[in-house]
Amino acid sequence: MRSLALYILAFLCVATPNIEGNHLCFSSSDSDADSYKSFIQQLRQYFPINTSILYDIPILKHSLPPSQRFLTINLDNPYGEDIFVAVDVLTLRPVGYRSNDTSYVFFDAPRVAFETVFPSTCRVLLGFNSDFKSIENAAATSRLDTLLGLAPFEAAVSDLFHYRRDSVPTSFLVIIQMILEATKFKFIEQSVVNSLKNGEPFKPTLAILSLQDNWAKLSLQIQASSSLQGLFGEPIELYDSNHRTIQVDSIYYPIIIPNMALQLYQCNIGTNFIRMPSVGGDPCYVQTRTARISGLEGFCVEAQNKGWSDGNPVILSPCGEQLTQRWSFQSDGRIGYSGNCLSFNLSSYVVTYNCSEGAAGSIRWKVSVEGMISNPDSDLVLTANASRRSAMLTAEPNAKTLGQS
């Protein structure tokens, strides 16, 4: 039996300043797939109002006045039971919920929430925090074993409405994932939509959990990548739909831009000044990143003959761990290998050339969101005309072919 010490009950009947106008509703009575998608879209439009956008992904605000910081979401089921869940607009973390005249607040709720959220209610301070690890510990279960879908959602609303104490943590595992995590990630939203369409509940996969657990890290690396043409300062390990681990090290993975709907604020992407180097390094400003340049059919860009001499050809080779496939992407647009820079000659063949002696215009490259590498001065694009070993790369006009992305 779960210990009563798990919950700290602090009943406070107080009058506090109210949240005005920050309110959305969702009813499971008409929760077909379309109405659910419409509700998630409302949330996505509400949270990032007047915020920055990077790679077409809105970034949450990093500060707000107390009256605007929290959103209350009214959730109900067909049995006439409804609750109000309060969400921190800055972090998309739940603060607590209200049922009738009693509110239940997470142990780690921001102090300002006690001054603003659920005024004139008797408050119960829950004995666990709002992060998944703490909720899973309190529930004595994991997200992998938690059913999501229409029936689990309606049961969660009922359990919270009646404050069935032992079910509160599990109920939040359902609501947080189906509402807040689905707002962050389109992949999670689609998983819920599929469940609503086929009428079958489902359990989250490793792919879903890896997205949930890495939202803050993904947001940081995406925002930091703006200083390095979309490359991450360090890779993030995620799971794909086949339960295989993948190392995501740039915005060019399909799991990033088409999937993420919101970013947690991590970096001031609008900063327009020269940064002085710091001892610990600034995770928001990545100056260099070494990575492979991969193409079609398992081939990677390689410096032939170790690339030490000027004019050395750049070719395709099967992707591996060889050092000749490790290219350093610089924040000034250079792509280097062993002290030389990626360039091209008068015959349009891509070569390596001494960085200090090569023409500045021919050693600067720009990486597009689609993964195309182009030279801004000439508008020529890194091109592989054949997917075979030792095929030489060329710089050609953009024809939008597969060999150019």
- Residue 74 domain-assigned (yes or no): yes
Does 34 share its domain with 171? yes
The first and second tokens of residue 203, run together, are 């359990």
- Residue 233, phi then psi, degrees to nearest 5: -70, -30
* 175 and 27 in a common domain: yes
Please compute the mean of the pLDDT values over residues 177-203 and round it to a whole number: 98
Top-confidence residue, 33 or 290:
33
Q: Does residue 39 sit within a domain?
A: yes
| Shared-domain flag, residues 167 and 293 | no
Domain boundary among the residues 141, 169, 199 is at 199
- CATH code of the domain containing 308: 2.80.10.50
Domain for residue 4, yes or no? no
Is 273 within the bounds of a domain?
A: no
The pLDDT score that the predictor gives to residue 209 is: 98
Give CA separation, 257 vs 105, 186, 400, in Å: 34, 10, 20
Shared domain for 188 and 295, answered yes or no, is no
Cα separation, 345 vs 343, whole angstroms: 7
Q: Is there a domain that residue 321 lies in?
A: yes
Q: Is residue 235 over pLDDT 70?
A: yes
Last-in-domain residue among 156, 172, 199: 199
Residue 30, φ and ψ in degrees, nearest 5: -125, 40
Q: Is residue 369 part of a domain?
A: yes
SS3 content of the chain, % helix, strand, coil (to 5): 30, 25, 45
Decide if 277 is inside a domain.
no
Does one domain contain both 53 and 187? yes
Q: Do 300 and 167 share a structural domain?
A: no
Confidence of residue 9 (pLDDT cuts 50, 70, 90): very low
| 315 & 192 share domain | no
Kindly state whether residues 293 and 193 are assigned to the same domain: no
Q: How many CB atoms lie within 10 A of CB 115?
A: 12
User: Which CATH number belongs to the domain containing residue 52 in this structure?
Assistant: 3.40.420.10
Domain with 374 in it: 288-401
The pLDDT value given to residue 274: 33
57 and 181 in one domain? yes
191 and 43 belong to one structural domain: yes
Residue 290: pLDDT band with limits 50, 70, 90: confident
Q: Is residue 133 part of a domain?
A: yes
Are 189 and 317 part of one and the same domain? no
Provide the pLDDT for residue 281.
52
Computed over every residue of the chain, the mean pLDDT equals 87
What does the H/E/C string look like for 30-55?
A: HCCHHHHHHHHHHHHHHCCCCCCEEC
Judge contact between 279 and 295, C-beta under 8 A: no
Q: Can you tell me which residue has the tokens 């707002």?
A: 183
What are the residue numbers of the active site?
A: 181
In tens, the pLDDT along 384-398 reads: 887 778 889 999 998
- Of 199, 216, 250, which marks where a domain is finished? 199
- Domain total for the chain? 2
Q: Each residue of 38-52: pLDDT tens digit? A: 999 999 999 988 889
pLDDT, position 137: 98
- Same domain? 178 vs 296: no
